[in-house]
A and B are shown apart, each in its own frame.
Chain A
Amino acid sequence: MEPMALTLLILSLAAATYLLRLLPMITLSRTELPAWARDWLGLVPGAVLAASLFQTLFIQDGHYALTWRNVYLLAAVPTFLVAWRTRNMIWTMLTGMVSFALLQRLIF
């Protein structure tokens, strides 16, 4: 992406997000969001993250990579367990990076 296009992208992301922050403050002081909308909005972030994560883990160089040589997938096992058990970002990152680096050396 060109620097100019990238700057434009950053600013449009910021503008869209700013509206998400401001509009409810202005409009919802009297009315409330319907239950189904609250529910839908609550489910979206997890779904986006999972979609992103699955692509990172299962697709390598544009192809499905469901093999034991896929280091991204193998390193996910200890990393996910630590994330789940500790709920600590630093430990999760350290586990992920260390197991990825070790596995890479073992396999290649």
Chain B
Amino acid sequence: MFARIGRGFKATLPVALGVMPFGVAFGAVAGLRMAWWQAQLMSLTLFAGTAQFITASMIVDGAAYLPILITGTLINMRLILLSAALTPYLKKAHRGLYPLMAQLLTDESFAVSLAEFERGKPDHYYFIGSGLAIYVLWQLATLIGHTFGSNLPAGLGLEYALAATLMYLLIMLTRTRRSAVAALFAGLLTLALYPLLSNTWSAVTATFIAATLGVLWNRWRSPS
């Protein structure tokens, strides 16, 4: 068992190291409004990079409870897809391991494990090791970001780290032309709705409308 966990852990280490800058950036942004233990609590419990980054920046902007909760949950909706796609490979696992495996599910542990399962044979302990590698380094990165983020001098363009990260994530998440068009539409719509709704509600509304129109467009173009 430990050897199998170790295999997943080791195979995922390079990916986990690659995620660390993102965790450091989160820690630094969180440091603007959160105590170190709150940032760490977020990384320990929420453990979802993009959602942590967006919600932390909303907290910094002074957004209200409900819009933050909805936006963070919307971002994480894609975990349903990952969880559903992974489940067939976890059939042999004891039911008692499900709560643990669920917490360790991220884009990265999913990608590394699925690649391995399609080559070799499914192994839930490999997945647990993979998830643990991301989990441990994510905690460390958060701590580093929170500790050193506030000590950096002004004038380095740090205000722009959030916008730059959003652009990077946006490009990584919109791989098809339709998803890029839906994203662009959501962006324009949120600006159009801005005078009517608050910042955060206009984003939530625009997201719902853009994703729904994207689905309808697909059905209309290729009815099945």
B90 within 8 A of A: yes
Check if B65 sits within 8 Å of A9, measured CB to CB: yes
Min distance, Cβ A89 to any Cβ of chain B, angstroms: 5
A14-31: which residues lie under 8 A (CB-CB) from chain B? Answer: 14, 16-18, 20-26, 28-29
Q: How large is the interface on B (under 10, 10 to 19, 20 to 34, 35 or more residues)?
A: 35 or more
Majority-rule SS of B interface residues: helix
A residues 27-49 near B (Cβ < 8 Å) are: 28-29, 32-33, 35-36, 38-49
The answer to whether B79 touches A17, judged by C-beta atoms less than 8 angstroms apart, is yes
The 8 Å CB contact of B68, one of A13, A44, A76, A83, is A13
Within 8 A of B (CB), among A67-90: 72, 75-76, 79-80, 83-84, 87-90
Q: Select one of B101, B156, B179, B219 contacting A46, CB under 8 A.
A: B179
B162: interface (CB < 8 Å): yes
Q: Are B163 and A96 in contact (CB under 8 A)?
A: yes
Given the known A-B contacts A43-B182, A64-B191, are A49 and B166 also in contact in the complex, defined by CB atoms under 8 Å?
yes
Nearest chain B CB to A15 CB, angstrom units: 8
Cβ-closest chain A residue relative to B214? A43
Given contacts A20-B76, A33-B81, 16 further A-B contacts (CB under 8 A): A7-B41, A21-B79, A21-B102, A22-B102, A25-B86, A40-B212, A46-B182, A47-B206, A47-B214, A48-B186, A50-B190, A55-B203, A76-B163, A89-B22, A89-B165, A96-B163
Q: Give A residues with C-beta under 8 Å from B.
A: 1, 3, 5-14, 16-18, 20-26, 28-29, 32-33, 35-36, 38-59, 64, 72, 75-76, 79-80, 83-84, 87-90, 92-93, 95-102, 104
